[in-house]
A and B are shown apart, each in its own frame.
Chain A
C-alpha cells in the first residue's frame, strides 16, 4: 500500500487534512502528518526532522511499499527535500515528493491508495486532483479577466492542426517494451510532434520509458495526436504498425519471465531447473556489478558536466550495441532484443533532459543527476501493475547503472561476489567469466533467475561441485542479501524463507550430502577396474583451470579434454605464447604426473572472438570451425602450438584437434608442427618432439575415414555432442529439432562402433569425451563397444567409476550387442535405464544383507 505524509506549516492544517482524509477512507489509509514546528513561540513553520520521522513511521509498516509526500508551499517544499536527505540511503528509493495540491491531492491519493492503487496510480490521481474542481468551476471562467484563459489558447490552436488516431491496442501483452520500442523508433523517423493519451495521461511518443509506464494493456484505447509537417504521414504509419499488431506475433507465447514466475510455488518453495546436485543453506548474496558510491557534489561548470554525462550515455549506447551484436551472433536475434530496448530506455531524451535539468538547476554532478533521473523512471516502472512491465524496471536500472559505472571509470563488465561470509550466490545468469572469477570456497550454492540445466552456469556449477538451481525466475532477484535461503540442486528446489525447522533439516541434509560425497570421492581415488579385471581410464573434461581441484578430488586420472576457449574469450587480444605456456604448465603441474590432453582452440562463427574479424557465416556449424579455422589463421594457431609443444617438454601433455573432416588437415598440422619444432630447436627452447597427437572424432566424415586418420595420430577422442548433431543433421540449439540430437541414436552408436574398430585395427587408443561419458546409464554400453577411456565432467566421475567396478566385460559386451540391435533412441534409452535400475537394485540388496 502507498502511504501518505502531509507536510504543512500549520499543525492544525496538517491535522485537518488528516481528518478529512480519514473521514473519507474510514481508516483505510496509511497516513502520517508533519505540521508546524516544536518551537513554542513560532509554531508556524516546518521541521525536516519531523517530516523524516513521519516518513519513517510509515515505511516501517509492513503493508507500506512506498510513501508519497504532499506538502503545502514555500519552505515546506524545502523541508520535504531536506527530510529526504536526512533519511537512510536505503529508504530513499521508496519516498516520492509529490507536487499535487495538498488538500485535493491528499484526498484523491488516499482513496486510490486504499483500493490498492500502485504508486503510479496514486501519484497520477493526486496530480490530477484539481481536474474535477476546474471542470466544475469552468462556468465561472467568463467572470475572469480575459488574460488568463489566453495563455491556454496557444497549444489549443496547434492542436487544431493536429491529426488524431484512436487505436484499440491489439497486443496480447499490451504495449510492452518491444511493441513500444517499435513505435518510438517509427515516430523518430518523422518530422512531427506525436503524443499518446491513455486513461487521461498524455506522453510524448518519443519516450519509451514514458510510453511503457503508461501501462497500456490489450484492448485499451490509445489516442495518438500528431502535429507538424509529417503529421498525416506519421499517423498513417502508426496505423499500419497498429494493424500489424505493433510487429508482435498475434499469438505470443508469454515472455519467459511470466513463465518463470508461474513455476509452482508451494509454500515458500520455488522450483527451478536442477542444475547441479547437492544441498545448501545459508545467507543469500547477489552477484552484482560493483556498487558505485555516489558522492553528491556541486559543480560550477554545468555545461562541461552535461557534456560529460552525454559522453557517458553515448559510450554506454555503444556498449549495448556491441552486446546486441554479440548476443545476436551467439544466441539469436530474439534474445538480443533486450539490448534494443535498453538502448531506447537510456537513450530516451526525457531521461537525459531530466538529468541535465538536475545538473543545471541543482548544480549536481553528472552521476548524481543521472542517478536521480534514473530512480524516477525506475520508480515509475516499478509502480506498474503489470508484473511483466514492472520487471522492465530492472532493465532500465541495469542499463542506467552502466552509465554510473562509466562515469566512475569502472570497467563495463566487472561483476563482484564478495559476501562477508560463505554464501549462496544469486544472479540473473552466470557467464563463464563470472564463474572464472568466483571465490569457489565462498560459494555454498548457486541460484539463478535464468538459464536451464545446459547453460554455462549449470555446467560450471556441476564441474565445481557446487549445488545449483537455475531458471527459478524473477523471484530470485527479490531475495535480499543476507536472507537465509536453502536449495536442493538435485530436485531443483529453492526455499526462499525457510523457517527454523526447515533450516535445520536442510543443514542435516547438507551434512549428509557432504559426508556421502567425501566417501564417494574417497572411493573414487582408486582405479576403475571391471570385475573381469580390465581397467578403464577415467579422466576429466576441464573448461577452466579452477575445475582441476574438483576433478582431482573426484578421482580424475588425468584430463582427457582441456578446453582452451576460456583463454581467448572476453578479452581484447589473443593470449600470448608465454601466457598460454604458463597456464598449461600450471595445469600440468597440478595434475602431478597425470596426463593432460589439450584441445586446440575450437572457435567458429557460432563462438566468435571479438578481436578476430570473422566473416558472418549463414551456417556457422557448417562453417570454418575448429582446426579448419586454426589452419587458416596461423597467427592465432602457432603461438598455441608452440606453447603446447614447450609445455610437453616437462610434463605428460598431449594435443588434440577438433572439427577434423579430412585427412589433409592432419597432414597440414603435422607439417606445421615439424616447422615449429625446427624453430624451437633453432631458438634453443626445450620442447617435446614426440608430442602425442589425437583427433576428435566429431564429424561423420571423420568416422568414415577413421582408418586413414588413425595412421596420423596416437589416439581418437569421440566427441558425441557434435557428432550426434552432425550425424542427425539437426541443430541442438533449434528447439524444433533439438530432440533428435541424442548420442543414443542408433546411427551415433554405430559411428562409435566404427571408430572403435578403426582405432583397434590401427592399434591406437579410443577415448570418448562427450556428455555421454558422464552418464552412468551409458557406461556398460560404451565399455561393451570397446572404448578404452572416458573423459567427463568432474562431478560425474565417482558415480561412473562405481558403475564400472560393478561391470563384467562379457556382460558389457552383451549389453552393447543388444543395444546395437535396437532401431530407435527411445527404445535404447529405455533399455539402458532398465539395466541401470536393475543394477542399482542389485547394489542396494548387496549393501543391505
Chain B
C-alpha cells in the first residue's frame, strides 16, 4: 500500500529536485519561453511542502487538493494552472483514502493527467508536458498489468517520461508560450515536459526508498 507518508515523501522529494534543477529548467524556458519555469515551479512545490507541514495527517484527497490550490496561486505561469488541475483531479479520485493500492495510484495519476488535458487542451505532439505524462501513465499501466512490483513499475514510468521529454526536442510547439515561436521552437527540449519527468523520477525514488526501509 502507498500511504499518505509516501505521498508526502514524494512531494518533498519533488520540491527538492525541482529546487536543484531550477536553473536548468529556467534555462530551457529561456530558449523557447520566458525564462521562468524553473523558478515558478520550484517556488510552487516549496509552498506545497510548507502547506503540507502545516496540515499533517490529512487523507489523500484533501492533501492533493491543498497541493493543487497552492500550485495555482503560487506558480503564476501556465504550469501552475496545469499542475494545479492535476492535483485537483487527482484529489477527486483519491477521496478520503489514507492509502492507495498500485492500481489506485495509477487511477490517481491518470485522472491528474486528464486534468492537465482538460485545462490545457494539448494533444500528444504539441510539445508540452503532456508528451511526458502520456507515455509515463501508459507505461505504468502496462507494467502493473504485467504484474511488475510497484518500485519497478515506477522506474519504468519515470523512464517513459524521460523518453517523452527527449522526444519533445524535435517537435514544433503548438500550445503555450513556445507556440508563438513557431518553427523556431524546434530543437529545444520542452521545460514543462522536463519538470514532469523530474516529478515522476521523484515519485519512483520516494517509493523505492520507502520500499528499502520496509525491507
Contact = CB atoms under 8 A, between A and B. Distances in A.
B75 A45 contact: yes
A362 B75 contact: no
Given A74-B177, A363-B117, A37 B72 contact: no
B121 A47 contact: no
Contact of A82 (B77, B84, B111, B117): B84
A47 B177 contact: no
Contact of B43 (A39, A47, A78): A39
A500 interface: no
Most buried by B among A39, A78, A82, A361: A78
A49 B69 contact: yes
Nearest to B36: A42
Contacts of B114: 298, 363
B97 interface: no
A298 B82 CA distance: 15
A46 B43 CA distance: 15
Interface string A333-364: 00000000000000000000000000001111
Contacts of A364: 118
A47 B120 contact: no
A81 B119 contact: yes
Most buried by B among A37, A44, A49, A361: A37
B78 A74 contact: yes
Contacts of B75: 45
Contacts of B58: none
A73 to B, nearest CB: 9
Contacts of A50: 73
Given A74-B177, A79-B81, A39 B76 contact: yes
A48 interface: yes
A42 B81 contact: no
Nearest to B78: A75
A48 B85 CA distance: 11
A47 B76 CA distance: 6
A48 B77 CA distance: 11
B168 interface: no
A45 B74 CA distance: 9
Interface in A278-303: 298
A78 B177 CA distance: 13
Contact of A37 (B73, B111, B117, B177): B73
Given A42-B39, A49-B72, A82-B72, A298 B81 contact: no
Contact of B118 (A44, A45, A47, A363): A363
Contacts of B74: 37, 39
Nearest to B39: A42
Given A42-B40, A82-B85, A362 B76 contact: no
B176 interface: yes
B76 A42 contact: yes
B133 to A, nearest CB: 13
Contacts of B120: 78
Interface string B62-90: 00000001001111111011101100110
Interface string B38-69: 01100100000000000000000000000001
B81 A82 contact: yes
A683 B120 CA distance: 74
A298 B111 CA distance: 8
Nearest to B79: A75
Contact of B81 (A38, A48, A363): A48
B121 A42 contact: no
A307 to B, nearest CB: 20
A364 to B, nearest CB: 8
Contact of B72 (A42, A48, A298): A48
Contacts of A363: 114, 117-118
B153 to A, nearest CB: 20
B73 to A, nearest CB: 5
B38 to A, nearest CB: 12
B117 A298 contact: yes
Given A74-B176, A75-B80, A79-B81, A49 B40 contact: no
A114 B73 CA distance: 32
Interface string B157-184: 0000000000000000000110000000
A28 to B, nearest CB: 32
Interface string A391-402: 000000000000
A42 B119 CA distance: 22
Interface string B114-145: 11011111000000000000000000000000
Contacts of B39: 41-42
B119 A78 contact: yes
B206 to A, nearest CB: 26
A37 B76 contact: yes
Interface in A28-64: 37-39, 41-42, 44-50
B27 to A, nearest CB: 17
B176 A362 contact: no
Contact of B82 (A38, A41, A45, A78): A78
Contacts of B36: 42
A180 to B, nearest CB: 33
Given A74-B176, A74-B177, A82-B85, A361 B121 contact: yes
Given A39-B43, A82-B85, A45 B77 contact: yes
Nearest to B85: A82
A47 B72 CA distance: 6
A78 B78 contact: yes
Contacts of A79: 72, 81
B63 to A, nearest CB: 18
Given A42-B36, A298-B114, A362 B121 contact: yes
A298 B177 contact: no
Most buried by A among B76, B119, B120: B76
A45 B119 contact: no
Contacts of A85: 88
A404 B40 CA distance: 41
Nearest to A38: B73
Contacts of A38: 73
A772 B209 CA distance: 89
A782 B119 CA distance: 76
A75 B72 contact: no
B76 A45 contact: yes
A315 B85 CA distance: 35
Contacts of B69: 49
Nearest to B179: A74
Contacts of B76: 37, 39, 42, 44-47
A357 to B, nearest CB: 11
B77 to A, nearest CB: 6
A46 B115 CA distance: 19
A372 to B, nearest CB: 12
Contacts of A74: 78, 176-177
A361 B114 CA distance: 11
Contacts of A45: 40, 75-77, 80
Interface string A6-33: 0000000000000000000000000000
A54 to B, nearest CB: 14
A49 B73 contact: yes
A415 B41 CA distance: 50
B82 A47 contact: no
B84 to A, nearest CB: 7
19 contacts: A37-B74, A37-B76, A42-B40, A42-B76, A44-B76, A47-B72, A48-B72, A48-B73, A49-B73, A74-B177, A75-B78, A75-B80, A78-B78, A78-B120, A79-B81, A82-B81, A298-B115, A298-B117, A362-B118
Given A75-B81, A363-B114, 5 more contacts: A37-B73, A42-B36, A42-B39, A44-B76, A78-B119
Top-3 shortest CB links A-B: A45-B76, A298-B114, A75-B78
